[in-house]
Copies of this chain bind each other. A is one copy, B any other.
Amino acid sequence: MIKAAILGGSGYTGVELMRIIHLHPEVELVWVTSRKHAGKSVTSLFPSLIAYDGLNFIDPSDKAAEQKVDVVFTAVPHQTAMNAVPHYLAAGAKVVDLSADFRIRNQAVYEEWYVKHTAPELLEKAAYGLPEIYESRIKESRLVANPGCYPTSTILPLFPLLKEGLIDSQGIVVDSKSGASGAGRGASVALLFCEVNEAFKAYKVGQHRHTPEIEQELSVAAGNGVTINFTPHLVPMSRGILTTSYSKAKEGVATKDVLERLEHAYKKCPFVKVLPEGSFPNVAHVRGTNFCFIGAFVDERTGRVILVSAIDNLTKGASGQAVQNMNLMFGLDQETGLNSLALFP
């Protein structure tokens, strides 16, 4: 059994990690921290986690959090993560970091969009944890930077097309729509039920921090610098991201070509499902799962490729992908513990 711990377990990604770990046959949760809720039982705060009866949140400074584990999932905000990760690595644990701190390889870019980095020496050691693209690197890594939710949904459909030159690397537009859980569990007027229900808006237009992360990976795929427009929107639902992207098809590229390329790229990837021509994904069909569903259409009137992808932001977009990464880091089948089907409806 792999002994696991969670740093920052009282947010939605922490709760989702516990839900998934409960079904995982090879993992045991040893401790879970929460500064705010230290001393309280997990089930009193989250009755859905009924199987964790007897487990309490502890403060990260608590002695019990020094208990050695094989893997630590750091589900804390950026900056907090970069301060904690070196400690757990030094203690001999592998780390899957769900924050943004080790996703951007270029320190200057990180610091432009976020804050000063205090552990820059780890940037090149960290693997970018998108297993469909970096599987072998993840397997060898002791630190995996779990991708952002928007980047996961955006990179998966675009990467193979850029890599194989089916689309132009310039002029890509990414229009994403996310459920409210992506914004976390902090008390905030803007996230109250009455503010999100029967509402829809764009936010952080032109300024969302997932932009450089997406551009980094699309640039890898294209082999040159890619700059995109990325606009996130808030959907009145709890879970799910749907990303619609628009890019210029190379001459002669038809819908069939795009679908074949995607099929080929992901034929060994159990969590990516390319839908048949004419079908497009719905976030409802991947809810609570680690799947990414992709649909594609080449509009011959305009010469543009429209890609639509759906994930659950808390699962493939966060905690499910973290467990997928952990599976690879420990030599397990990547599907282990992740084979539930979506709750529909």
On A, residues with C-beta under 8 Å from B are 12, 15, 18-19, 22-23, 46-51, 171, 173, 175, 177, 179-181, 185-189, 191-203, 205-206, 227-229, 231, 233, 235-240, 242, 244, 246, 273, 275, 279-288, 291, 293, 295, 297, 299, 301-302, 304, 306, 308, 310, 339-345
Contacts and interface: CB of A to CB of B under 8 A. Distances in A.
A177 B244 CA distance: 11
A236 B237 contact: yes
Given A181-B345, A199-B283, 7 more contacts: A19-B341, A50-B341, A197-B197, A239-B345, A246-B246, A288-B288, A288-B343
A345 B191 contact: no
B284 A198 contact: yes
Copies in the complex: 4
Given A229-B302, A302-B228, A285 B47 contact: yes
B306 A205 contact: yes
A343 B200 contact: no
A282 B47 contact: yes
Given A23-B340, A192-B191, A299 B235 contact: no
A343 B229 CA distance: 33
Contacts of A236: 193, 197, 235-237
Nearest to A291: B50
